[in-house]
Chain A
Amino acid sequence: MSMDNRQDTDGDSGDLTDFDESEQAESAWLIARETDATAQAPSFETEREYTELEDMLATLPSGAPDQSWHDDVLRVAAARSSQQLPWWRRRAVKWPTAGVLAAVAAAAAFLVLRPRTPPELQVAIHRNSSSEPGVEPMRAGLSEVVRGDHVYVTAIPRGSGDLRVYRADGMLVARCPRGPRCRTTGDRELIIDAELESPVQYFVVLVIGMRDAPLTWTMDKYLEAARATNARITIFQPIDVH
């Protein structure tokens, strides 16, 4: 594993000296809110501007998808691999072409990648939602959801996120942060635990980059606004409640 672990040379100041009072207050609040979601911002306006700033940083454009360089990397990798072999092996072994190398590496990468990358959005169905401490809820599959089950959603959004659960008729069931059936933890985790009360479809939606959409909006109106503001939208597969 190639991790240089270089020593950070900026120290704690760099060109961040001469802070004025308001910057100091904002800095203190930014630290406090990491562990306390209710930490009071210096002002509502300040909080709003930071939310907007972090949304903009999270949604900076990455450019159009470009795969033209992938083959170059694989070619260089194959060439390097070939140069490291003794000459008799280079001539005799014909299979290490870039394609085979790519396929093997892709399979390895897939195996490594899949279990270790924490998903941004996770959804589980709990059959009994006992609030008694120490009682683990029983999980149910998404194909066997019945009225009274609970949908348990956790999201760790990259950027400031707005997590919502809607019914198929567009009605908002839960929202996080600052909404009904919502819980937040440190490090920006949003949790919704909501009862599925009706035999209809439910939708779990995570939007990154748009905040403060009214609670009264239907799902269609909400998604339309999210798209208009260039926000990133993740919709979990519909949950059919029987």
Chain B
Amino acid sequence: MKILMIAYGDSLTAFTARVLRDHELAKDVRQQVFLEALQGLEKFEGRSSLWSWLCSIAVNRCIDARRKNQRAGVMDDFEVWEGLLGQPDPMMDDGRLAKRRALEQCLGKLSDSFRSQLLMRCFLGLSYNEIATAIGATPGAVQVRLSRILPRLRKCLRSNGVAR
């Protein structure tokens, strides 16, 4: 279990924090994910990769956490994000830093569900099939939805003046 936590803990924390926009809630979810994984590891059937299985648990526990705790995420302050999820690379130029800030803000404007699906694909690297299994949809529906989320995100970035 420790190997799993070392290998996947930080990525899953960043994922749940970005989905829930609440770092304390995200830490609770992280603990639930790994406790559930520990209990379920013996029964893990290997029909999916271990990584996608953990992501699936994480996204479902995020849904539970949001239902129990309806308060809106308060993590739109980029400086708070930087404190929790890492200071920007000192080599990063001002333009790239502005883009990253705008991206975090635009991600915050998406619904939890859309944000989680986009991050599962682009940040966690899951396939359409794996995302579909996790959220109970068809791979085609996930693909179509993501093909609509990305243009919306790009439009948001443009309205923030960072995309040319």
Contacts and interface: CB of A to CB of B under 8 A. Distances in A.
Interface in B95-147: 96, 99-100, 103, 110-111, 113-114, 118-119, 122-125, 127, 133-137, 141, 143-147
A66 B11 CA distance: 11
B111 to A, nearest CB: 6
A108 to B, nearest CB: 6
B50 interface: yes
Contacts, number: 208
A34 B142 CA distance: 13
Contacts of A28: 147
B100 A56 contact: yes
A182 interface: no
Nearest to A72: B31
B5 A70 contact: yes
A16 B57 contact: no
Contacts of B3: 106, 109-110, 113
A217 interface: no
Contacts of A70: 2, 5-6, 9
B114 A74 contact: no
A227 interface: yes
Contacts of A5: 133, 136
A232 to B, nearest CB: 11
Given A5-B133, A12-B141, A70-B9, A56 B99 contact: yes
B80 interface: no
Interface stretch (A47-55, A144-152, A168-176): A47-55
B85 A2 contact: no
The bracket for how many chain B residues form the interface is: 35 or more
B2 A26 contact: no
B147 A57 contact: no
A24 to B, nearest CB: 8
Nearest to A230: B89
Interface residues of A, number: 67
B34 A73 contact: yes
Contacts of A52: 99
Contacts of A58: 122-123, 125
B153 interface: yes
B4 A109 contact: yes
Contact of B144 (A31, A69, A227): A31
Contact of A63 (B14, B31, B56): B14
B154 A49 contact: yes
Interface in B4-51: 4-7, 9-11, 13-14, 18, 27, 30-31, 34-51
Contacts of B144: 12, 27, 31
B138 to A, nearest CB: 9
A74 B1 contact: yes
Interface of A: 1-10, 12, 14-16, 19, 22-23, 26-28, 30-31, 34, 45, 49-50, 52-54, 56-58, 60-67, 69-70, 72-74, 76-77, 80, 101-102, 105-106, 108-110, 112-113, 116-118, 158-159, 187, 227-230
Name the 9 nearest CB pairs between A and B, nearest first: A158-B125, A61-B86, A8-B137, A57-B122, A105-B1, A62-B14, A30-B147, A23-B151, A63-B85
Given A1-B40, A31-B144, 17 more contacts: A1-B43, A3-B133, A4-B136, A10-B113, A12-B145, A23-B155, A53-B157, A62-B14, A63-B84, A63-B85, A77-B35, A106-B1, A108-B42, A109-B3, A110-B3, A113-B50, A227-B91
5 contacts: A6-B136, A15-B114, A23-B155, A73-B35, A113-B3
